[in-house]
């Protein structure tokens, strides 16, 4: 049976592509009658291979999906728990949240560690293709993904809430210890590519040098 691919009409400027099983390529062409004329990527510009890969070939855990914004409200409450988290893959897992801090960043960014090369293959391929299309077209994209894995954090509860930078702990995760939490990856699934002109994520100018 051929792999299934569902295209969901976007809201506003978004283009959403969700792959349910197997592999698929993002359609390139659009017509005035297909409902996507303003947002579809031009023919031949971007081909995304989307594969649902569970670590070690095991099925992904069946659990409720939690957004990065929800996790960031209470990292200590999720410490050492296996989570199924959804966010934008851009130097880790991120999400722009309604919550804001008066000074500094709301901590809605999570480092990703672990996982086999096979586990990362589809996501890495999607990121390369999105980066190439962002450079070619000048468009802003968001690469959404669901991650299953165990959350680690040194953050503590604070009366000031997540905006209390000291509550993140003395040493964080990832580059320069700047992440308040990390997920030890078991699997990725449900990769989506969205076109969003207001996205803060600039895939056309990603840094690939030494850290």
Task: Say if 31 falls within a structural domain.
Answer: no
pLDDT at residue 180 tops 50: yes
| Residue 21 placed within a domain | no
Is residue 13 situated within a structural domain? no
68 belongs to a structural domain: yes
Which pLDDT belongs to residue 31?
Answer: 37
pLDDT grade for 205, boundaries at 50, 70 and 90: very high
The pTM assigned to this predicted structure is 0.70
> Rounded to an integer, what distance in angstroms lies between the CA atom of residue 75 and that of residue 109?
11
Confidence of residue 62 (pLDDT cuts 50, 70, 90): low
Residue 27 forms part of a structural domain:
no
> What's the token pair of residue 171?
């040493």
Structure-model confidence comparison of residues 11 and 63, the more confident one: 63
Q: Give the range of the structural domain holding residue 85, as residue numbers without chain letter.
A: 52-205
- The pLDDT tens digits for 122-165 are 999 999 999 999 999 999 999 999 999 999 999 888 888 888 87
Q: What does the alpha-carbon distance between residue 97 and residue 106 come to, in Å, rounded to a whole number?
A: 8
Whether 15 maps to a domain, the answer reads no
Q: What is the pLDDT of residue 24?
A: 33
- Contact call for residues 108 and 181 (beta carbons, < 8 A): no
Domain annotation covers residue 5: no
């Amino acid at each position: 049976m051929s792999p299934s691919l569902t295209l969901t009409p976007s809201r506003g400027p978004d283009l959403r592509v969700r792959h349910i099983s197997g592999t698929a390529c993002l359609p390139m062409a659009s017509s005035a009658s297909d409902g996507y004329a303003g947002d579809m990527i031009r023919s031949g510009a971007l081909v995304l291979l989307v594969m649902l890969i569970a670590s070690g070939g095991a099925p992904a855990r069946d659990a409720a999906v939690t957004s990065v914004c929800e996790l960031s409200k209470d990292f200590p409450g999720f410490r050492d728990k296996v989570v199924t988290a959804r966010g934008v893959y851009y130097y880790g897992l991120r999400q722009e949240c309604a919550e804001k801090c008066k000074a500094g960043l709301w901590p809605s960014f999570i480092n990703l560690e672990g996982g086999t090369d096979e586990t990362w293959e589809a996501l890495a391929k999607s990121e390369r293709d999105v980066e190439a299309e962002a450079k070619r077209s000048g468009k802003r994209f968001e690469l959404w993904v669901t991650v299953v894995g165990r959350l680690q954090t040194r953050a503590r509860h604070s009366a000031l809430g997540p905006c209390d930078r000291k509550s993140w702990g003395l040493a964080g995760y990832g580059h320069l210890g700047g992440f308040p939490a990390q997920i030890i990856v078991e699997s990725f699934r449900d990769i989506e590519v969205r076109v969003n002109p207001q996205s803060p994520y600039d895939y056309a100018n990603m840094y690939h040098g030494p850290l």
